[in-house]
């Protein structure tokens, strides 16, 4: 009786033609069926970099951080923390390039949402690894949990990173359930273990009306959840700085400043990822010029919001130029780090605000070039927040060794940083080789022009 009822409901909701659906399935599932020579070389290349990072970490822990890193009493955080901030920024892709668009009914989110979710999960995984590497011995995480104070921002950070990671896993894999069922039914030329994996992870998905209802409700709840969670994650990262005794970090602007920077970087990373998938997997039909046009507009919007918070962060204290800030600010504006700083302002703020305003520059290739510049500048921006900030302590200690005032990351540190970046690309690539990188059901649903209907397919 129950079966009959479900079939009846399923049939009732079938409004997407079988032919159209088959073409779409073929297009979107094709990347899973075969991996070309260049794909294998790319995966091998990323794996080698990642393994080099594992070896570098082993060396760091066996020889000691004082020998293998450029860290000192002043610059006690270094490139690991600036890279951690960058990775956390990327992990908000799910918030800005999926959840917000979805909840505000921007229909063009559909082919982008899974790419954003995968980037988020990969980035937060590597960010978690990065913060552990920064702490040194891994057992310190255990001691932090056992002996940590709930009043400490470090403990909040651990809690919010773990919670956001769990939310990213659920957001990605629950929305993936119908697609896995599609993979199981549609892809037959795959190894048995892979088909078995699809069967297990599709959790007995039959596409009944009841299942759809539960799935959509759960996905919606999680979509709402990741927004405050992502903003909390980013804000807690900012508070780690605000609650540390450094004049240039002692800012109530820091939380919003970090969140706005993340929004810009998530657009940049999405443009690059969408361009790559469109090109490599031949998905031009689904990742269209319209998406680049929209993402270019989003880049301008987030660029201006970020510029506003930068003005609050730098120009307002510079206008006052109190003795507390003068040392650090003059160093950035006209001192040792000036060239570095103004290049970051140019490529990280001015370029995303101005260039994508021109429609011609919102084409896939040109916009991707802009996004690459913004992303690289974004990485260096965090470096400029962390390193010169640490080099100018609130209470200078007398007779410090000159080496303390300067920090240069060691080869070990840079290898580990490269490994975390390669790790993100490796996770995203491997994911796209085993799972559909574009959500088949969400795109198909979009064809119904937002009607409150459920598509039945198996």
Partner 1 sequence: MEKYKYFIATCIMILFSIATSYAQDKEAKIALTFEKADSLFVCKALVTSEGKPVIEVPVNLSVKRLFSNLAIGDAVSTDSTGVASFEVPQDIPSHNGKLTIFAKIVDDENYKNTETSAEVNWGTIVVSDNANVGERSIAAGRSGAPIYFIISSLLVIGLFWGILIYAVLQVVKIKRLGSLDKI
For partner 1, the binding residue among 43, 59, 135, 170 (CB under 8 A) is 170
Which residue number, 39 or 148, has a Cβ lying nearer to partner 1?
Answer: 148
Q: Which two tokens stand for residue 358?
A: 């021109």
Which residue number, 1 or 339, has a Cβ lying nearer to partner 1?
Answer: 1
Q: Are 15 and 453 in contact (CB under 8 A)?
A: yes
- To the nearest 10°, report the CA torsion of 321, 251, 343, 384: 110
Q: Are 277 and 246 in contact (CB under 8 A)?
A: no
C-alpha span between 392 and 325 (Å, rounded): 9
Which residue number, 203 or 358, has a Cβ lying nearer to partner 1?
Answer: 203
Q: Using the rule CB under 8 A, is 208 a contact of partner 1?
A: yes
> Which 47-66 positions form the footprint of partner 1 (CB under 8 A)?
none
Piece of 14-22, 54-62, 148-156, 309-317 that binds partner 1 (CB under 8 A): 148-156
Q: Using the rule CB under 8 A, is 3 a contact of partner 1?
A: yes
Q: Using the rule CB under 8 A, is 298 a contact of partner 1?
A: no
- Could you give the count of Cα atoms lying within 13 Å of 426 in the half-sphere of its Cβ? 18
Query: Could you tell me the smallest distance in angstroms from the CB atom of residue 309 to partner 1?
Result: 25
Q: Are 102 and 281 in contact (CB under 8 A)?
A: no
Q: Using the rule CB under 8 A, is 218 a contact of partner 1?
A: yes
Q: Using the rule CB under 8 A, is 398 a contact of partner 1?
A: no
For partner 1, the binding residue among 63, 221, 311, 338 (CB under 8 A) is 221
Piece of 2-10, 79-87, 247-255, 446-454 that binds partner 1 (CB under 8 A): 2-10
Q: Read out DSSP for 213-279? A: HHHHHHHHHHHHHHHHHHHHHHHHHHHHHHTSS-GGG--TTHHHHHHHHHHHHHHHHHHHHHHHHHH
User: Residues in contact with partner 1, total (CB under 8 A)?
Assistant: 30
Piece of 165-173, 323-331, 348-356, 361-369 that binds partner 1 (CB under 8 A): 165-173
Taking the CA atoms of 13, 16, 22 and 27 in sequence, report the sign of the dihedral they define.
negative
Which residue number, 156 or 379, has a Cβ lying nearer to partner 1?
Answer: 156
C-alpha span between 275 and 268 (Å, rounded): 11
Query: Which DSSP helix (H) or strand (E) runs through 143?
Result: helix 139-147
Q: Using the rule CB under 8 A, is 225 a contact of partner 1?
A: yes
Please give the residue ranges that form the binding site for partner 1 (CB under 8 A): 2-3, 6, 147-151, 159, 163, 166-167, 170, 174, 177, 203-206, 208, 210-211, 214-215, 217-218, 221-222, 225, 229
């Amino acid at each position: 009786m129950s079966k009959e009822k479900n079939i009846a409901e399923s049939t009732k909701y079938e409004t997407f033609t079988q032919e159209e659906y088959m073409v779409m399935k073929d297009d979107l599932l094709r990347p899973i069926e075969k991996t070309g020579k260049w794909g294998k070389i790319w995966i091998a290349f990323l794996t080698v970099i990642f393994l080099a990072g594992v070896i570098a970490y082993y060396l760091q822990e066996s020889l000691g951080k004082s020998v293998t890193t450029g860290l000192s009493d002043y610059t006690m955080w270094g490139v690991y923390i600036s890279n951690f901030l960058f990775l956390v920024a990327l992990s908000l892709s799910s918030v800005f390039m999926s959840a917000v668009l979805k909840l505000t009914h921007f229909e063009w989110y559909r082919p982008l949402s899974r790419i954003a979710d995968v980037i988020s999960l990969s980035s937060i995984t590597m960010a978690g690894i990065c913060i552990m590497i920064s702490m040194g011995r891994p057992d310190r995480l255990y001691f932090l949990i056992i002996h940590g104070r709930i009043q400490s921002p470090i403990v909040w950070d651990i809690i919010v990173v773990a919670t956001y990671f769990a939310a990213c896993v659920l957001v990605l894999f629950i929305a993936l359930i119908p697609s896995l069922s599609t993979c199981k039914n549609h892809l037959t030329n795959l190894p048995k273990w892979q088909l078995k994996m699809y069967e297990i992870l599709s959790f007995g998905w039959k596409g009944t009306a009841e299942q759809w209802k539960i799935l959509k409700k759960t996905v919606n709840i999680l979509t709402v959840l990741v927004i405050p969670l992502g903003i909390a994650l980013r804000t807690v990262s900012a508070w780690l700085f605000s609650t540390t005794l450094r004049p240039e970090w002692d800012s109530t602007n820091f939380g919003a400043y970090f969140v706005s920077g993340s929004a810009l970087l998530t657009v940049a990373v999405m443009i690059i990822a969408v361009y790559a998938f469109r090109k490599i997997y031949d998905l031009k039909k689904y990742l269209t010029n319209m998406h680049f046009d929209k993402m270019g507009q989003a880049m301008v919007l987030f660029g201006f919001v970020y510029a506003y918070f930068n003005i609050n962060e730098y120009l307002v204290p510079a206008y006052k130029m109190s003795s507390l800030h003068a040392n650090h600010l003059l160093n950035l504006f006209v001192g040792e780090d000036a060239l570095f700083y103004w290049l970051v302002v140019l490529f990280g703020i001015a370029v995303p605000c101005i260039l994508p305003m021109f429609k011609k520059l919102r084409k896939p290739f040109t916009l991707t070039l802009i996004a690459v510049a913004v992303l690289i500048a974004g990485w260096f921006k965090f470096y400029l927040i962390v390193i010169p900030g640490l080099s100018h302590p609130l209470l200078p200690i007398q007779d410090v060794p000159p080496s303390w005032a300067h920090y240069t990351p060691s080869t070990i540190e840079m290898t580990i940083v490269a490994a975390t970046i390669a790790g993100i690309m490796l996770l995203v690539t491997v994911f796209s080789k085993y799972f559909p990188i574009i959500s088949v059901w969400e795109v198909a649903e979009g064809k119904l022009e937002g009607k409150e209907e459920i598509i039945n397919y198996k």
